[in-house]
A = this chain, B = another copy of it.
Amino acid sequence: MPKKDGYKTREKILQVAEDLFSEFGFDGTSIAKISKAAGVNKGLIYYHFKDKKDIVVSILQSIIGEIDRKTDFSKTEDDQPDNPDMLQDKIRMEVEYCMRRKRIITVMLMESLKKDEKADFLFQCADLVMKQEMDGIRKKMSTGQTTDPEWTSRFRVHEFFTGFMPIISFVVLQDKWCKYFDCERDKALDYFLDSFQRTHLSSHHGTD
């Protein structure tokens, strides 16, 4: 199938690479595997990407960009949910978004665990999300407290490890969890949202 679009080829490669990386990890996925799955010539991959790492970086940058656009957009609106019901709806939507981007998030988490990785995409991602959260809070509180570096640091730890990571973990492990503990996917989601509500979200009322 010669002389195709070029842009489409690149997209196809990224798409199957995302799949394979999330299944087998970066090191566990060979260029040969990718080229075969994408139905393109192995050498062609090096026409579109500098090297193997360039592929994973392209993938991860794309979600950074996506989140950046999403959070930027929200900032302009004033739709910070006030009551618990709206908050829970918002969380459900965010979890659902993450589930749609599950594969890429898996890659992101996998890579963030390695020591030598320069690309801290997981943290970059979380940083964007947390900045948006902080903006929302600042609008409501209007005290100087939110500019205190210690408060910021404390807030970040709180959001990341008891908010962000539980969601990431759930999205990434849900399938395997349900298989291992013999639980239906939908129920697991409901239970998780309920737990998240009772833990992370309820803690926000104290913070606000």
List A residues at the B interface (Cβ < 8 Å).
22-28, 106, 109-110, 112-116, 120, 122-123, 127, 150, 153-154, 156-158, 160-162, 165-166, 169-170, 172-173, 176-177, 180-181, 183, 187-188, 191-192, 194-196, 198-200, 202-203, 206
Contact = CB atoms under 8 A, between A and B. Distances in A.
Contacts of A181: 123, 127, 153, 156
Contacts of A154: 191, 194-195
A110 B112 CA distance: 10
A199 B166 CA distance: 12
Contacts of A206: 198
Given A106-B113, A154-B194, A157-B192, 16 more contacts: A24-B114, A24-B116, A110-B110, A112-B176, A113-B172, A113-B173, A115-B176, A153-B187, A158-B191, A161-B170, A162-B196, A198-B203, A198-B206, A199-B199, A199-B200, A199-B203
Nearest to A122: B173
A156 B162 CA distance: 17
Contacts of A194: 154, 158
Contact of A166 (B112, B116, B162, B177): B162
Contact of A112 (B24, B173, B203): B173
Contacts of A166: 161-162, 165-166
A189 B183 CA distance: 33
Nearest to A110: B113
A199 B123 contact: no
A134 to B, nearest CB: 13
A183 B113 contact: no
Contacts of A23: 114-116
A87 to B, nearest CB: 15
18 contacts: A23-B114, A24-B114, A25-B110, A26-B27, A120-B180, A123-B176, A123-B177, A153-B181, A157-B188, A157-B192, A158-B194, A160-B177, A161-B169, A161-B195, A162-B166, A162-B195, A199-B200, A202-B202
